[in-house]
Amino acid sequence: MPEDKELILLIEDEPQMRRFLRITLQTQGYRLVEAATAQEGLMQATTRNPDIVLLDLGLPDMDGLEVTKRLREWAQTPIIVISAREQEQDKVKALDAGADDYLTKPFNAGELLARIRVALRHAARQITEQNEPVFTLRNLRVDLALRQVFVDDKEVHFTPIEYKLLMVLVRHAGKVITHSQLLKEVWGPAHVNEVQYLRVYMTQLRHKLENDPARPRFLINEPGIGYRLKYDPEG
């Protein structure tokens, strides 16, 4: 097991969950720091400088949303929120506050590891600032330099807004992006509440990109939260 794999900070109060995650993550070779409370977690985050944070929203001493906000005050470390709560609002708040992705309990190990990989990849790209000129995902190819989109090697024409929308999704490929984040990036901060804009353009985008828009392979709708460009280069 290579010793230089990323350091993961796990903030979770339930011992059973910690045990499961410890085994799963260590098997994959990740190094792990555990914290049972938010206070302890925040302290570990400052002293150990982890590469990624797994944060449970239901901590006994502090709201997970608050922890996200405090972490974001000084660090850009990717945060994946783990939540048992069914309330979508909590997740949306955490995501809007700066969390990178979320998982709803119960989840399976494969899902967790995929999310961790996506988050780490995004973090790495941010650090090196490298932008690949061409984004490829199965039969979808986006030439970022030429602003051209190909599906099955056939060029598809986009309106400026559609293209902008796709660009935001590509930039965050694999991560969930909330409605308000998308609206802010594409239409500007004044339009964060006009979800129906987004819905219409997402439908158009889907019809242009997907073979069967009712069973999408790229543009995944996460009801009540946002959208995700399904990104599975390994699979």
Partner 1 sequence: MEERRPDPDQLLQRARDEDERKREGQLKIFFGAAPGVGKTYAMLEAARQKKRQGVEIVVGLVETHGRKETEALLEGLEIIPRRNVEYRGTALKEFDLDMALRRTPPIILVDELAHTNAPGSRHKKRWQDIYELLGAGISVYTTVNVQHLESLNDVVAQITQISVRETIPDFLLERADEIELIDLPPDDLLQRMKEGKVYLPEQAAAAIKNFFRKGNLIALRELALRRTADRVDEQMQDYRQDKGISDIWPAGERIMVCIGSNPRSIRLIHAARRLAAVLRTEWIAVHVEAPSQVHPSEQDLRQLADHMRLAESLGAEAVTLSGQKMSEEIITYARSRNVSKIIIGKPTHARWKDKLFGSPLDEIVRGSGDIDVYVISGDIAEPHAHAGSSSRPRSWRKREFAWSIFTVAGCTGIARIMFPYFERLDVAMIYLLGVVLISSRTSKWPALFTTIMSVAAFDFFFVPPFYTFAVSDARYFITFLVMFLVSFVISRLTLRVRQQAEAARFRERRTAALYSMSRELVRERSTERLSEIAIRHMSEIFGSQVAMLVADEGGRLVQTGKGDAVFTLDQQELSVAQWVFEHRQAAGLGTDTLPGAKAIYLPLVASSGAVGVAGVLPKNVGDGFEPEQFHYLEAFANQTAIAIERSFLGAAAQRALLKAETESLRNTLLSSISHDLRTPLAAITGAATTLLENDAAIDTVGRLDLLQTVREEADHLNRIIKNVLDMTRLESGAIQVNKEWQALEEVIGAAVNRLGDRLNDHPLTVKLPGNLPLIPFDSLLMEQVLVNLFDNAIKYTPTGTPLELSASESFYTVTVELADRGPGIPSGEEEHIFDKFVRGRGTGGGVGLGLAICRTIIAAHGGKIWVENRAGGGAVFRFTLSTAGLPPAQQKEEEEITGL
Q: Interface residues with partner 1 (CB under 8 A)?
A: 86, 88, 106, 108, 146-149, 155, 157-163, 194-197, 199-200, 202-203, 206, 212-216, 220-224
Nearest CB to partner 1, comparing residues 40 and 88: 88
Residues near 35 by Cβ (< 8 Å), separated by ≥ 6? 9, 10, 11, 12, 41, 43, 44
Q: Which is nearer to partner 1, 48 or 147 (CB)?
A: 147
What distance in Å separates the CA atoms of residue 191 and residue 164, rounded to the nearest whole number? Answer: 15
Q: Is 177 left (phi over 0), alpha (psi -120 to 50) or beta?
A: beta
If the CB atoms of residues 62 and 161 are measured against partner 1, the closer one turns out to be 161
In the complex, least distance from residue 30 CB atom to partner 1, rounded to whole angstroms: 22
Smallest gap from Cβ 78 to partner 1, in A, equals 23
Taking the least distance from each CB to partner 1, the nearer of 127 and 214 is 214
How near is the Cβ of 62 to partner 1 at its closest, in Å? 24
β-strand partners of 142: 135, 149
Q: Note the maximum CA span of the chain.
A: 54
Q: Rounded distance, CA 88 to CA 225, Å?
A: 7
What is the distance between the alpha carbons of residues 83 and 98, in angstroms, rounded to a whole number? 15
Q: Which is nearer to partner 1, 26 or 197 (CB)?
A: 197
Tell me the two tokens of residue 88: 């979508």
